[in-house]
Structure 1
């Protein structure tokens, strides 16, 4: 099965969605799950059946390095 950006997130068979332990109780969080072909799907936890975005592991790794280096802190305020 091939997954493209914008597919319904609840259609991934056996998805094991994970979110941060820092997630707030009202569901404002991003969730991720590995895909069978090696990518990673990302969805909004408030809309579990909504569209999912698909990234390669290399793209996710580059993003995580940017997060760790505080490159996106200005986007969420102080």
Structure 2
């Protein structure tokens, strides 16, 4: 699969299995992530707009974000 551009409409991606955090709330304030086929990256979309655009990140970019969040690097943004 060719690497998609950021802001790609979800309907232009292949069928994906989207996942939200177990910490998501019922009001829809969450994002969903899905692995692209063949390790081409990770798609991220706003759960309120499931047909809207998705941002595409490399696996390494998502790993850096997750590890940084785990380490508390972004805690000041929600304090």
Return the TM-score normalized by structure 1.
0.89
**What pairs up with 1:40-55 in 2 under 5 angstroms?**
40-55=42-57
**What pairs up with 1:8-27 in 2 under 5 angstroms?**
8-27=9-28
Deviation of the 1:12 alpha carbon: 2.2
Moved over 3 A (4+): none
**Can you give the 5+ residue segments of structure 2 that lack an aligned partner in the other structure?**
none
Return the TM-score normalized by structure 2.
0.88
RMSD: 1.2
CA distance in 2, matches of 1:58, 1:15: 19
8 Å CA contact 1:30–1:45 kept in 2: the answer is yes
CA distance in 2, matches of 1:25, 1:12: 26
**Can you give the 5+ residue segments of structure 1 that lack an aligned partner in the other structure?**
none
CA distance in 2, matches of 1:25, 1:36: 29
Q: Deviations over 1:8-39 (max 9, x none)?
A: 12332221000001100011101000111410
CA distance in 2, matches of 1:28, 1:11: 24
Aligned equivalent of 2:60: 58
Report whether the alignment pairs 1:6 with 2:4: no
